[in-house]
Amino acid sequence: MGSIRSKSLAEILAEAGLSPSEKAVDKPELADILDTPIDYIPSTEPDSEPEDIVYIELPAGEIDPRLKLLSHSSRTLLHKCPRKYQLYRLSSDKVELEDPVKDMEQSLTFAYGHAVGEGIASVLEGKTEAQIVLELFLNWNVDLLDENSRQKKSFWLAVFAVQRLLRMYNEGFLSDYELVQYEGKPAIELGFQIKLPGGYTYRGFVDAVLQHKTTGEIMTLEAKTSSSIAQPAMYKNSGQALGYSVVLDILFPEMSSYTVLYLVYETKSYEYKELPFTKSLLQRALWLQELIIDTQLIKLYESYGTSYPMHGENCYDFFRECEYLGLCTLQTEKFVKPLTQSILDDIEKDEDKYQFYVTFDDLVSSQIKKGTNDAV
Cα gap 250→278, rounded to integer Å: 19
Comparing CB distances to ligand SF4, the nearer of 83 and 153 is 83
Comparing CB distances to ligand SF4, the nearer of 192 and 324 is 324
Cα gap 20→25, rounded to integer Å: 7
Closest separation between CB of residue 331 and ligand SF4, Å? 14
Rg of the chain in Å (alpha carbons): 26
Closest separation between CB of residue 301 and ligand SF4, Å? 13
Could you tell me if 164 and 270 are in contact, meaning their C-beta atoms sit under 8 angstroms apart? yes
- Nearest-CA neighbor of 131 among 153, 170, 162? 162
Could you tell me if 226 and 199 are in contact, meaning their C-beta atoms sit under 8 angstroms apart? no
Comparing CB distances to ligand SF4, the nearer of 72 and 84 is 84
Cα gap 346→177, rounded to integer Å: 38
Closest separation between CB of residue 308 and ligand SF4, Å? 9
Region near ligand SF4 per CB under 6 A, out of 35-43, 81-89, 197-205, 332-340:
81-89
Cα gap 235→275, rounded to integer Å: 8
Binding mask 303-332 for ligand SF4 (x = CB under 6 A): -------xxx-xx------x-xx--x----
- Nearest-CA neighbor of 183 among 247, 271, 264? 247
User: Is the C-alpha dihedral spanning 264, 265, 267, 268 positive or negative?
Assistant: positive
The single residue among 72, 75, 84, 284 that binds ligand SF4, judged by CB under 6 A, is: 84
Q: Give kind and range of the element (H or E) at residue 223.
A: strand 218-226
Binding mask 256-295 for ligand SF4 (x = CB under 6 A): ----------------------------------------
Comparing CB distances to ligand SF4, the nearer of 195 and 311 is 311
β-pairing, 271-279 vs 177-179, is unpaired
Closest separation between CB of residue 75 and ligand SF4, Å? 16
Closest separation between CB of residue 327 and ligand SF4, Å? 7
Comparing CB distances to ligand SF4, the nearer of 91 and 107 is 91
What one-character DSSP code corresponds to residue 146? -
Comparing CB distances to ligand SF4, the nearer of 242 and 322 is 322
Residue 265 has phi, psi (to 5 degrees) of -95, 120
Comparing CB distances to ligand SF4, the nearer of 280 and 314 is 314
Comparing CB distances to ligand SF4, the nearer of 25 and 310 is 310
Burial classification of residue 156, based on how many CB atoms lie within 10 Å of its CB (0-12 exposed, 13-18 middle, 19 or more buried): exposed
Give the binding-site size for ligand SF4 (rule: CB under 6 A): 12
**∠ CA(83), CA(299), CA(246), 5° rounding?**
95
Comparing CB distances to ligand SF4, the nearer of 321 and 351 is 321
Closest separation between CB of residue 108 and ligand SF4, Å? 21
Residue 12 identity: I
**Is residue 77 a contact point for ligand SF4 (CB under 6 A)?**
no
Closest separation between CB of residue 233 and ligand SF4, Å? 23
The single residue among 75, 83, 224, 284 that binds ligand SF4, judged by CB under 6 A, is: 83
Q: Is 122 helix (H, G, I), strand (E, B) or coil?
A: helix
User: Which residues of this chain interact with ligand SF4, rule CB under 6 A?
Assistant: 81, 83-84, 310-312, 314-315, 322, 324-325, 328
